Amino acid sequence: NPYEGLVSHLRRSWLSGRTRPLEYRVAQLEALGRFLDEKKDEILEATALDMGKPSFEAYFSEILLCKNELHDTLNNLAHWVKDEHVEKNLVTRLDSAFIRRDPYGVVLIIAPWNYPIHLFLVPLIGAIAAGNCAIVKPSEISNHTEKLVAETLSCYLDNDCYAVVTAGVEGTTRLLENKFDYIFFTGSPTVGKIVMQAAAEHLTPLTLELGGKNPCYVSDACDVQNVARRVAWGRFFNAGQTCIAPDYLLCSLEMQEKLMPALREAITEFFGPNPKDSPDFARIVGDKQFQRVQALLSSGRVAIGGQMDEEERYIAPTVLADVLPSDPAMQEEIFGPVLPIVVVTSMDDAIDFINARPRPLAIYAFSCDTKEVNEVLDRTSSGGFCGNDTLTHVTLTSLPFGGIG
């Protein structure tokens, strides 16, 4: 067991009680803040090398949103750690009854490659704030960021309590043989099952942040240009490599026709006539992923975009029209800058379509009529729901982020 030594070391640190005092936790969190400030340029550079992440997007998701979480935690931690007194009954009237939030111990955080800093750092903020020790396992696919984190995080955090492990599939499998007190995993449902199986061996509680196909319903009653802009922004951010990106669109045939020019205009507005030249458009992270997304393009017909450059792993912002439920693009989470449109006959049809499929991480519904938005909301189930916009519900630190099913 190659990681036994490391895990034991962290467990000894945990048992020493070092990570429990509030002052210690605050000091470590402040150090994380310094990491974000001092390594900002390196982070932007590494993510640009990994997937051509535009510097604004990288700044927004990897620095700004992380700092928001950090500040929210630092501002409220003293309050969060307080004992929560509960209502008592007659028998316990003279007693003190409360819930205390105790740290678990040694936590494992496994992060994916699409927002490689954010998706380990935000869970790590929580782990530290709650008084745990932690091992961070960044994704080997975003290898520049992985290297940066492995080399620099140790300069900021207490190395006896927080460690970074770099490993591929085999190494991660060996890592999961160890007993952890909590596992936080972000990634695909397939690997999620493997992680949960491994956790079951040690009865380790876990949080799984997975994915799915997030439907986006567009009603006939809506401001087409605004919808097109918001959907395009959500779909093409990070070249579509976002777990909560609108995965496919559901609308009437009429609306499909109206949306095409609107989407074309939005794409040109955002990325110019040739998105390949735009500094604001990312690339696919690796060859394997590029080939996977490429294969999905044989669905429906390419109405916008479709251009590719394998060397640069560039896929143009693409919209597919008249896609059928049996097409390749509808069989898996797309995770690329491709937006299939599936034509439905009515809102009821759209709701049935959504409910016939596994529950997604997010559902989007666009309509000028609040009743319609509410109906989609009421009759479906998902991790989260956003009416008349995409992605933004995850930027609020007050809203819990997670999936279902």
Residues 60-89 contacting another protein, CB under 8 A: 60, 64, 67-68, 70-72, 74-75, 86-89
**Closest to 52 (Cα-Cα) out of 246, 280, 235:** 280
> Where are the extended beta strands (E) located within 345-395?
362-366, 384-387
Distance from C-alpha of 208 to C-alpha of 211, rounded to nearest angstrom = 10
Taking CB under 8 A as the binding criterion, the range among 100-108, 119-127, 250-258, 321-329 that sits at the site for another protein is 100-108
Assess 8 for contact with another protein (CB under 8 A): no
> Where are the extended beta strands (E) located within 61-103?
84-85, 98-99
Name residues contacting another protein, limited to 383-402 (CB under 8 A).
383-389, 392-393, 395-401
Question: Is 209 among the residues known to form the active site?
Answer: yes
Among 208, 251, 284, 316, binds another protein (CB under 8 A): 208
- Give the shortest CB-384-to-another protein separation in angstroms: 4
Q: Catalytic: which of 57, 69, 209, 333?
A: 209
Helices and strands, number each (H, E), in the chain: 14, 16
Residue with tokens 């896929």: 315
Lay out the site mask for another protein across 20-39 (x = CB under 8 A, - = otherwise).
x------------x------
Assess 193 for contact with another protein (CB under 8 A): yes
Taking CB under 8 A as the binding criterion, the range among 13-21, 253-261, 285-293, 346-354 that sits at the site for another protein is 13-21
Among 24, 104, 276, 327, binds another protein (CB under 8 A): 104
Tokens of 336: 């690329």
**Distances in Å between the alpha carbon of 393 and those of 245, 281, 332, 399?**
12, 22, 23, 7
Among 83, 102, 310, 352, binds another protein (CB under 8 A): 102
- Give the shortest CB-225-to-another protein separation in angstroms: 8
Buried-state track 195-215, b at ≥16 Cβ within 10 A, e below 16: beebbeeeebebebbbbbbbb
Number of residues that bind another protein (CB under 8 A): 83
Assess 381 for contact with another protein (CB under 8 A): yes
Among 44, 125, 210, 243, binds another protein (CB under 8 A): 210
- Give the shortest CB-17-to-another protein separation in angstroms: 6
**Closest to 61 (Cα-Cα) out of 215, 184, 245, 209:** 245
Residue with tokens 């040109």: 268
Taking CB under 8 A as the binding criterion, the range among 135-143, 195-203, 320-328, 334-342 that sits at the site for another protein is 195-203
Buried-state track 259-295, b at ≥16 Cβ within 10 A, e below 16: bbebbbebbeebbeeebeeeeebbbbbbeebbebbbe
Among 137, 229, 283, 313, binds another protein (CB under 8 A): 229
Question: Is 269 among the residues known to form the active site?
Answer: no
- DSSP for 194-252 reads HHHHHHHHTT--EEEE-----EEEE-SSS-HHHHHHHHHHHHHGGGG--TTS--EEEE-
Q: Catalytic: which of 243, 251, 372, 386?
A: 243
- Measured between alpha carbons, how far apart are the two ends of the chain, in Å? 33
Strands 182-186 and 308-309: unpaired
Q: Which is nearer to another protein, 151 or 349 (CB)?
A: 349
Q: Which is nearer to another protein, 323 or 386 (CB)?
A: 386
**Distances in Å between the alpha carbon of 22 and those of 75, 85, 125?**
13, 20, 13
- Give the shortest CB-339-to-another protein separation in angstroms: 16
Residue with tokens 């409220």: 76
Within its chain, how far is the Cα of 18 from the centroid? Answer: 31
Q: Which is nearer to another protein, 138 or 383 (CB)?
A: 383
Name residues contacting another protein, limited to 237-296 (CB under 8 A).
269-272, 278-281
Q: Which is nearer to another protein, 193 or 357 (CB)?
A: 193
- Give the shortest CB-105-to-another protein separation in angstroms: 7
Assess 97 for contact with another protein (CB under 8 A): yes
Q: Which is nearer to another protein, 112 or 384 (CB)?
A: 384
Active site residues per annotation: 209, 243
